[in-house]
Amino acid sequence: MPKLENYVTGSWIEGDGEGQPLYNAFNGEVIINASTKGLDFAGILDYARRTGNPALRRMTFPERGRMLRALAMHLREHLDKFYRISYLTGATRADSWIDLEGGIGNLFSYASLRRKFPDETFCLDGEGHSLGKAGTFMGQHLLVPKEGVAIHINAFNFPVWGMLEKIAVNLLAGVPAVVKPATVTSFLTEAVVREIDRSGILPPGALQLICGSAGDLLDHVEAQDVVTFTGSASTGQLLRSNPRIMRENTPFNMEADSLNCLVLGEDVLPGSAEWDLFVKELRKEMTVKAGQKCTAVRRIFVPENRLEDSWKALTRALSQTTIGNPENEKVRMGSLAGLSQREEVRTQVRRLLATSQLVYGSLDSVEVIDADPLKGAFISPLLLLNTSPMSSAEPHEIEAFGPVSTLMPYKGLDEAIELSKKGKGSLCSSVVTADARIARNYVLGAATHHGRILILNEECAKESTGHGSPLPLLVHGGPGRAGGGEEMGGIRGVKHYMQRVAVQGSPTMLTALTGTYQPQARQLVGEKHPFRKYFEELQIGDTVITHRRTITEADISNFANLSWDHFYAHTDHTSLEGTLFEKPVAHGYLILSAAAGLFVDAGKGPVMLNYGLEECRFLKPVYAGTTIGVKLTCKEKIPQEKKEDTDTPRGIVKWYVDVYDNTGESVAIATILTMVQKKT
């Protein structure tokens, strides 16, 4: 029997011995064996740290992002091959779409985040802080890539998405990964990694794959590494308590299967749009991936006067589910991942039946299309009913990881919130309601026990990704039983793989360090106006100190007439008593406009256009007779990528604008952006 190979230390290597057989989930036939016996796990991690990590750390955020985009584009060209292999896991094409194209979509999402980071190998974290009255001492937080490796131990249900959604984040951060998928479906992960290797897009050591037992892998972690785990809470707790992890204080992010719930609002009546959404969402949650999702709805809470209507409607919906060979176009639900998984689901359901009754489905029989129900890991959707959820522990403690949910009644929204918390921490929850009051009260009441909450109604239904879909820009994880971890979340996720350090020094020194101008740093004043310089020629700190201009009453009056802004503080001498102003004050936007008139170089040059205004503060009133001047300083440079070959090479320049009066005090500060042409 052939064996899967492990991609480690730059080579494809078979493990020793016969290995563990991996099965076709819908007919029970052995596909291949998997083994990691004989692998040098310490050497694998060392290779990632010595080879992959330095290569990624040398790359800037834009370079890492473009690498992810190229990888996504490449994998998309091989989807047909991946779909064919995915059927062997028991997944239908719709199930596989989530796993395959959802995973590739994560690569695209994190690739696009490169625009949120500087053209640097590190990034700033928040604003600088002045630490002295004279402005010569300050502090700034930085984030730098960790010098270790991300170790991802993934679950069997999403062998591709589980890998790609995690490595997208650590690779953008500049950290390599060792991926250990669940063995039972690792043949699909292996096929994708082979294609990644063939592409040559990632630098050596950026990604390694272990197909089989993790052996003593975690016994070799170090403080700069990050370990993530997705799977059962019991396994996660066992891994997290590894003595080496605890001794090294290695970050451990856990995303555990949880007893997620959906609440039907008291305002939702049978026949309404929200009622139909409730039924449709639950049918999908129970049958997609045969219910093998860490985010699947396990507990359904409905008003007690809607209980009978609910189970009848759900029964009708579930009865329309066709089960069988996932390659058959008529099939809507495939099999579980394996026969052992089916037996585990049956065992857990029997435990649930101690306080519940089965109102739809059968534990022992199932009708299938184009398949053998005994050889394949098929099971019927199972809807349970528990009429005493406040006193029954089982529905809130036992999870059957398959197409299984328990329907339960509640008395009033406060009780629904209390029931939702009985799961002791969940990845996600949903409330179906068209009533904003119900939505607000549920979210604020249940938020402490859930990582994500969906408010589902007719208004958002067309675009809603549904109860269980983790999104790249939102955090995925949850408190308590759900593991207490967090992954993805856009920029937030990237920071999990970076070290935060607070740096103190003079504004000039921190400007040189960060590549971003810090207020009161040394300014570079030359004969050439900064607006006459091309993008490459500009230096951080380049400054023009303008001529001065005196603001007059006529200026204020004319600006009011031009802008139609006749706010009393600018135009009415008789209404200022009790205000902050001694006399009519100049409009803030008049001061900003006047500042632009002072610092702009009028001739045609490299500055192509005004790109926008990021921040602006008006610090001191400007009255008629006040003389103002401006210091315009190059604050930050952001190269732009060409979308078309014919595009003019350019970048965005941020300018720090300091408008000051005749006393030398700042009256306004702002950051403006211009688009500046490159020489080449």
578-581-583-589 Cα dihedral, nearest 10 degrees: -140
In sequence order, what are the residues at sequence separation of 6 or more whose Cβ sits closer than 8 angstroms to the Cβ of residue 211? 4, 5, 6, 15, 34, 36, 181, 183, 186, 187, 189, 190
Query: Sign of torsion, CA 62 68 71 73?
Result: negative
- ∠ CA 11-3-48, rounded to 5°: 30
Beta strands in 595-649 (DSSP E): 607-618, 627-639
- By CB atoms closer than 10 A (0-12, 13-18, 19+), residue 582 is exposed
In angstroms, the CA 584 to CA 625 distance is 11
Among residues 294, 487, 634, 636, the one annotated as catalytic is 294
Q: Which residues pair with 486 in a beta bridge?
A: none
**Helix (H) or strand (E) run with residue 542 in it:** strand 542-545
Active-site pick, 255, 285, 486, 487: 255
- Tell me the residue ranges of DSSP E strands in 457-541: 475-476, 487-488, 498-505, 524-525
Rounded Cα gap, residues 577 and 623, in angstroms: 16
Dihedral sign for Cα atoms in the order 121, 126, 127, 133: negative
Q: Which tokens sit at 209?
A: 């794959």
What does the DSSP 8-state code read for residue 426?
A: B
Nearest Cα to Cα of residue 438 among 449, 428, 446, 426: 446
Q: 10 Å Cβ neighbour count for 623?
A: 15
By DSSP bridging, strand 260-264 and strand 429-432 are: parallel
458 residue type, one letter: E
| CA atoms lying within 13 Å on the CB side of residue 127 | 5
Matching residue, tokens 């604003």: 127
| Token pair of 23 as six digits | 């099965």
- Cα separation, 68 vs 62, in Å, equals 10
Instruction: Identify the burial level of 125 via C-beta atoms within 10 angstroms of its C-beta, where 0-12 means exposed, 13-18 middle and 19 or more buried.
Output: middle
Query: Quick one: which of 566, 659, 656, 657 has its CA closest to 620?
Result: 659
How many Cα atoms are found within 13 Å in the side-chain-facing hemisphere of 92? 22
What b-and-e string marks burial along 653-662, b requiring 16 or more CB atoms within 10 Å of the CB? bbbbbbbbbe
C-alpha distances out from residue 645 to 641, 642, 648, 674, Å: 10, 7, 8, 22
Query: Distance between CA atoms of 65 and 22, rounded to whole angstroms?
Result: 35
Exposed e or buried b per residue across 439-461, where buried means at least 16 C-beta atoms within 10 angstroms of its C-beta: bebbbebbeebbbbbbbbbeeeb
User: Does residue 211 have an active-site annotation?
Assistant: no
Quick check: is 255 catalytic? yes
Contact status, residue 286 vs residue 311, Cβ threshold 8 Å: no
Q: What residues pair up with 618 in beta bridges, in sequence order?
A: 668
Please list the active-site residues. 255, 294
